Structure 1
């Protein structure tokens, strides 16, 4: 009968059937029906059929099965990233995770969703577990203890036997080592390995988040020992293998609080050329391959920037001293010397190891003041002359970027302002000047030039790529623009549209919508171009103090210069479109090494970005918590099916007003015009409207700020702690009903619990 069953699935390879449906479709006799369970079990064991968590059977087609890594989203679903880089990432619905967890190595079968025709996947096997530790809060239910993971999308609570608590108490934030993974009728179980403290402590939450993302602030004793062999200062004597640039009016331009100065720049006119010098700290002078310093820098992948704090990739002796391009001190650098003609068109680029002395540590505010006609006394004449040419050159480069389709828009970022006691006094929009844009375009020019050099010579490099967006997502975004009256025919018109919406109420919403429609930039041995910048060649070269990919590019570039037999290497504009050269000498890294490093660095970058966002979100919630019950004038910044995002004035922080908190009417979402409409009153809410709201609840652990309309009876001024009380009351009720649970039955969150948590 197994052949008959298999034939059913072979004729319907994309379908899933329950046991009952199989029996009905095959019109089985009573005797065959009794044998069906055994036959189905055998076919699953023989890897001919799949059995998913919905107890549905499907045909196992090896051609549709891929191996890769699972990444969970905070709303409970996941994305499958195949090992085969030629394959696209696949969306995994929460019901198809099959007890898989974040970072697990899994086998996934893809299938086409019947509703929209798009491909989805289901986890059919967990090859290797990728998560061994979980960070969360201890919660007591009766006599039993659980860990509530801080990840919103984590689908399980973890049971902790009393003997495995290791002195942890109710409400403690802890790290847990998983000693039993979840499965069908199997409870996730763990042991407390580290106690951070109570949730109410701001530092405790930050420590827990950093631990969750494997970000360490301390450096090992072995690294401290290596640092003793590093000199305290650099002698002001030109090394034989470096070109002397100490005569140039070169300066650093950074933020007021910056301490690690990666880059120094200047522009000079020489004959019929403008020459842009971008000198970058030569970190490779001190961080050698195979050392403890290098191993730890590679593990970290990047520095982490938190409000009022930096966790550096390199120890401070290097990041803030020897490698930092501080003023009036000799420093080892790697320079990109880029030439432009009098029409500011690129003509050639050279690269070499250099020796510089920065003439000034300038800030963005100082430089902008000079451009605005203020602060001339802050700069010597050679620096002023350089700044004047820098301004003109950067304006031309910005226009060239716009013309080639580079996405030219900036979203305002929040800035947390602290008092002398470390308490947040306000949250405001960070200021952004033309001077910021100037440095950006110079760094992009240097990054592009390095990548072009390696493509021209047909040599391996860790590229920074940004793939073309998904056509479906771009279609949705284009339809949205057209529905809102911003007519667009093709992707090249986006910059024109963004110029048109500047200052419009929908500006911020549409830009965020667009960014979320794009793919993530990443590191890769493959050079597929950078969509966002409109460039064919791009790499990260300008920040080796804080990014490991830049350090690998430096090493590869230095080995190329050395292999050339000269002290510098040059290419011209004509070389860009010529056939790649054959360069036979070996460089620092082989292709396979770069491929592995690129994958690791992309992963570390994502972890760091997530950690930074989570810490900022929590700190914003802690700030707003002091305003519980108080009313604010708010600006509606986004609208969706669940409710509205509202920016609280005068603070640059957003809360959420759920539709369930709009009590006077039933509101429905008009997804074409992005408005909420009251069914009875016809009242409308649209992006850009002002509204008076009350801070109703704040959940610091989740970083959630819940708002209510002033005057409605739903506003209760609840602190986040009461959420745990309600959850624990329910647990105690459940515990009384089913005491057998703790002996092994799996406890995954119900759909209702998940939805409540995700709001």
Structure 2
């Protein structure tokens, strides 16, 4: 049934069941009262099931439908290794705790209906699952363990709290330590493990590359492109023609550069910049990917499905085939390319006083790297400045304008999290040989600043034109999490102003400025980030809390992000004579689902990237067992303390392993205190740790505190 029709029928049926004269009825009775024709009864059943899945109605033991109990919710079950779990409800800030005895056999990420037992009693909500509405997945990736007459698989995702039983005839010859894909044949129950059969053996867990393939399979990341997609790509020309350039603004005479990492191959943004008096003329030029990826074509459908490119440690899983992303859509130096450009006139206060969006044809003069531009601007490297002498004035102008734009964002309260990401270097066998923080430099910040202003300018323009669009939204943080952050930072002598359960981003920005270059900077920055919500894609302009702006979108990376590609289509259609009523309605209808799908695939990519990083960090630390490192206590729980090393690796000191005393977690002061010695460990404290163990299967690193480093290390 069409989604619009289904939603309309759900609305009508819900009004009927919610009416004051309605008495709980069975399916046949509802069909009779509503005089549903025989050939439409299946539709009625579908609508009733959809309303149940939404948690709007429920069926009693006799199969009679009624409005769902107000204490009943629908959400996603998040499992744990220890059997209990939580139900996450999209529109609510607090999760519902589910004891192990009340999970009803639900597995991680299943869609469930939960009955809340203690709503509004001032303590954490607790509930029991009353119905599993939708199983998350029929396949699981894990490690095979063999017994005499059967096998079992331990899921890689530790939130999948139960091992999967594999009958002997369904092991496919797997041996201990094999990474396998299992098809679940029986989901089990509260007291019985799921059952399945091995459908694919990926290799032994210690074989090079198998760990990353396992993550790719576990997240169901599409790797190979379907044949019809590749056929469409084959038909795309390698270079643009005069016909392609017709009607476009020709900017090939402008001095134009790309600035990217050394290993980047998909160059989708180029910059032009000049200055006239006090006015900067900034051009942000983005590869016109939508010229080749047309709506509803095989390429487009596959791009929607993928949503984003995924950047794993040793490979990229692209949203678009390489012939496009590294070829005709890449703004390679010395070649004519099609672009969608945002030309901005910016005054010396950083205000965009005028702008133009246009379809263009450009030719990049030089392909620059962040390292090279950093050498020119920060290090004043003579050899580098000489190599690019004709471009140096433009780079200096870029630095000047970027500083102005950044200062303007700072004044309005934009939050800039500047803690380093991990850069993991592998050898030819995929084994990690170096992990270090990946630092942003002046060149990376310049490009960020220019992309931000283009994204804001485009979003504000299309908001006021009242044209259907995809925005990047970031909600205000939950009051409770901000209160907790306030309590925590008080331990370090800092404070934030919170008014009426709300906070302005400027308060968090001020906090980050205060902690700049302090020992606790990385810790407080991370906890501040964790107190905020995730940004997502929406079809309404809901504002961006972190950037302190009302209007924001993603316009600058259509090679690797589907929302950017989608809005390029809308912009071009609008530039070519405006949207007809039919096209306006078309976009209004599809964009909420496009935004939702893009948010889901973005999260999937983030989780997969984080899992691979975690795997490689564990593998790296397994080469350093017994070594001593200095770190910072980055988290405290009832069962232990997390310690983060300068190279971004995090491990745990387990309380159960600390033999010198019995330690108790003091939640109020974010500290662990010895019951007898009163020895205290606090968040943010510098400590020395020895690496005890690194478990690749569980993805855990165990540390132990040491009093002092050996003499040779001091």
Q: With structure 2 as the length reference, what TM-score do the two structures score?
A: 0.84
Say yes or no: does 1:88 pair with 2:97: no
Contact 1:462 1:523 in 2 (8 A): yes
Which residues in structure 2 correspond to 1:540-619 (within 5 Å)? 540-564=554-578, 586-587=583-584, 589-619=586-616
Equivalent residue of 2:698, what SS?
Answer: coil
Name the CA distance, whole Å, in 1 between partners of 2:683 and 2:193: 45
Say yes or no: does 1:378 pair with 2:387: yes
Give deviations 1:190-233, integer Å, cap 9, x for gaps: 11111111111241111111111111322222222222211122
Give deviations 1:68-110, integer Å, cap 9, x for gaps: 544557775334345xxxx335513232543223443333445
Say yes or no: does 1:680 pair with 2:676: yes
Change over 3 Å in CA distance of 1:74–1:518 after alignment to 2: farther
Give deviations 1:53-72, integer Å, cap 9, x for gaps: xxxxxx99534444454455
Contact 1:483 1:672 in 2 (8 A): no
Equivalent in the alignment of 1:523: 537
Task: Select 2:485's aligned residue among 466, 472, 477.
Answer: 477
Say yes or no: does 1:459 pair with 2:467: yes
Say yes or no: does 1:45 pair with 2:61: yes
Which residues in structure 2 correspond to 1:13-412 (within 5 Å)? 45-46=61-62, 61-67=68-74, 69-70=76-77, 72=79, 77-82=85-90, 87-88=91-92, 91-95=95-99, 96-110=102-116, 112=118, 116-117=122-123, 119=125, 122-184=128-190, 186-235=192-241, 239-270=245-276, 273-372=279-378, 373-374=380-381, 375-381=384-390, 383-412=391-420
Give deviations 1:541-585, integer Å, cap 9, x for gaps: 1111111111111111111111349xxxxxxxxxxxxxxxxx857
Two-structure CA RMSD over aligned residues (Å): 2.7
Change over 3 Å in CA distance of 1:616–1:236 after alignment to 2: farther
Change over 3 Å in CA distance of 1:291–1:220 after alignment to 2: same
Deviation of 1:422 (Å): 4.5
Change over 3 Å in CA distance of 1:384–1:345 after alignment to 2: same
How many residues are paired up? 639
Task: Select 2:638's aligned residue among 636, 641, 646.
Answer: 641
Change over 3 Å in CA distance of 1:183–1:637 after alignment to 2: closer
Equivalent residue of 1:586, what SS?
Answer: helix
Deviation of 1:449 (Å): 1.4
Contact 1:274 1:344 in 2 (8 A): no
Equivalent in the alignment of 1:486: 494
Equivalent in the alignment of 2:656: 660
Deviation of 1:159 (Å): 1.2
Give deviations 1:116-147, integer Å, cap 9, x for gaps: 44555543222222211111111224422111
Q: Which moved more, 1:676-685 or 1:609-618?
A: 676-685
Deviation of 1:402 (Å): 1.3
Q: Which has the higher contact order (CA 8 A, sep 6+)?
A: 1
Give deviations 1:251-307, integer Å, cap 9, x for gaps: 111112211111111221246531111101111111112222112111111111111
Deviation of 1:617 (Å): 0.6
Task: Select 1:535's aligned residue among 541, 549, 554.
Answer: 549
Equivalent residue of 1:215, what SS?
Answer: coil
Gaps of 5+ in 1: 1-42, 50-58, 566-582, 713-759
Change over 3 Å in CA distance of 1:458–1:160 after alignment to 2: same
Gaps of 5+ in 2: 1-58, 709-714
Contact 1:260 1:320 in 2 (8 A): yes
Name the CA distance, whole Å, in 1 between partners of 2:104 and 2:94: 15
Contact 1:541 1:554 in 2 (8 A): yes
Equivalent in the alignment of 1:715: none
Equivalent residue of 1:274, what SS?
Answer: strand
Name the CA distance, whole Å, in 1 between partners of 2:455 and 2:87: 30
Equivalent in the alignment of 1:4: none
Contact 2:345 2:355 in 1 (8 A): yes
Contact 1:313 1:545 in 2 (8 A): yes
Name the CA distance, whole Å, in 2 between partners of 1:454 and 1:561: 12
